[in-house]
Amino acid sequence: MTASGRGKLLVRGSINIDEFFVVPHIVRSGETLSSTDFSRRAGGKGANQAVSAAKAGADAHFAGSIGEDGTWLRQTLEGYGVGVTLLHTDAQLSTGRAIIQLSTSTADNSIVLNKGANFSLAAPPLSPPQLSKYTHLLLQNEIPLDETKRVLRDAHAAGLTTLLNPSPMLTREELAAFEWSQLDWLVINEGEGEDLLLALADGVETGKGDAKALLGALRATVLRALTGVIMTRGAEGVVASLRGGEVVEVGPGKVVGEVKDTTGAGDCFTGFFATLLSTLPRDEALSPATLASVLSIACQAAAMCVEKHGAMESVPTLKDVKERMGAQWDEGRPWESLRA
């Protein structure tokens, strides 16, 4: 943590050009469907999480790769206050791309990715001395897994707090072979939790929809040593567990008006969560009450994110979230030092 009370967060991950097609329903196999609206926006799980962290008040930096067609993404990230000195341009590749269908009937989406420059090998690898300038590292799964694992290993060795949001989910084999001992915090959704349990403890059954039982079963695996496991449940809120066995449950944030676009809501949650975590003293054990406060704020941010279109534009600032929470806002916590 810096003297100002906030950590320095590095997000190593993906950055995409998101192409949104608004459709009456998600296209069916063999069907051709006309969209009623189209827009091109900045996205990618890594970049979305870095922007969310910056909007939450973090000293956030992004490491990744774009093609020459993505120069505007660099400016977008800079405009949100994200450090981009580790954003590389690979002239040989196109920027990663996401084709996103937004269904007006279900307010649901579906995403097809083209990895493009996210899998570029041209950028010089982040060195341990570079990593040691940061206090927190946040990873997802839209860049080569070997790179994710290498950065995780070096960051852990350098003493950073490490967080992983393994989206899109790894394969069973990749999950079973993952070096979980390098990780402090895991952020997953319920479906990912089910996949993870199959990979780490095949045969262990929990009741469908019983999130606490699922979390408990996950904690009985190699994940027992993690500082925390956070499981998001969409409109049901979040359930989390700390290493000491404490379980924390918080309800969803309040959505005002209709749900317009859920794209990036999970990234918004994760960026806020990592930021608030980075304001807390690292040598003190996180109490369940503090974790509950952090999760409530991150849930409210994610709820506000679905009220607007896009994955970055729709992320609220910490100030917006504080205003929405009103009396529920937890005064006197370290995150008060963030620029709200």
- To ligand RIB, the closest distance from the beta carbon of 100 in angstroms equals 7
Site stretch for ligand RIB (CB under 6 A), options 12-20, 225-233, 276-284, 315-323: 12-20
- To ligand RIB, the closest distance from the beta carbon of 86 in angstroms equals 19
Q: Tell me whether residue 2 is exposed, middle or buried, using C-beta atoms within 10 angstroms of its C-beta: 0 to 12, 13 to 18, 19 or more.
A: exposed
Site stretch for ligand RIB (CB under 6 A), options 38-46, 52-60, 223-231, 271-279: 38-46
* Residue placing its CB nearer to ligand RIB in the complex, 162 or 189: 189
**Interacting residue with ligand RIB among 45, 61, 219, 260 (CB under 6 A):** 45
Length of the chain: 340
**Interacting residue with ligand RIB among 9, 20, 21, 43 (CB under 6 A):** 43
Q: How far is CA 237 from CA 63, 166, 190, 333, in A?
A: 30, 19, 11, 22
| 83 scored as a contact of ligand RIB (CB under 6 A) | no
* Residue placing its CB nearer to ligand RIB in the complex, 195 or 330: 195
- To ligand RIB, the closest distance from the beta carbon of 48 in angstroms equals 5
Site stretch for ligand RIB (CB under 6 A), options 222-230, 234-242, 259-267, 283-291: 259-267
- To ligand RIB, the closest distance from the beta carbon of 104 in angstroms equals 19
* Residue placing its CB nearer to ligand RIB in the complex, 263 or 296: 263
Q: Residue with CB nearest ligand RIB?
A: 43
| 148 scored as a contact of ligand RIB (CB under 6 A) | no
Site stretch for ligand RIB (CB under 6 A), options 71-79, 85-93, 263-271, 326-334: 263-271
- To ligand RIB, the closest distance from the beta carbon of 148 in angstroms equals 15
Query: Footprint of ligand RIB on residues 46-75 (CB under 6 A)?
Result: 48
| 44 scored as a contact of ligand RIB (CB under 6 A) | yes
| 311 scored as a contact of ligand RIB (CB under 6 A) | yes
Amino acid at 143: I
CA dihedral defined by 76, 80, 86, 91, rounded to 10 degrees? Answer: 0
Q: In this structure, are residues 17 and 115 in contact, taking their beta carbons and an 8 Å threshold?
A: no
* Residue placing its CB nearer to ligand RIB in the complex, 49 or 241: 49
- To ligand RIB, the closest distance from the beta carbon of 157 in angstroms equals 28
CA 84 to CA 64: how far, in whole Å? 9
| 95 scored as a contact of ligand RIB (CB under 6 A) | no
Site stretch for ligand RIB (CB under 6 A), options 41-49, 60-68, 198-206, 268-276: 41-49
Binding footprint of ligand RIB on the chain (CB under 6 A): 14, 16, 18, 43-45, 48, 98, 111, 142, 263-264, 266-267, 311
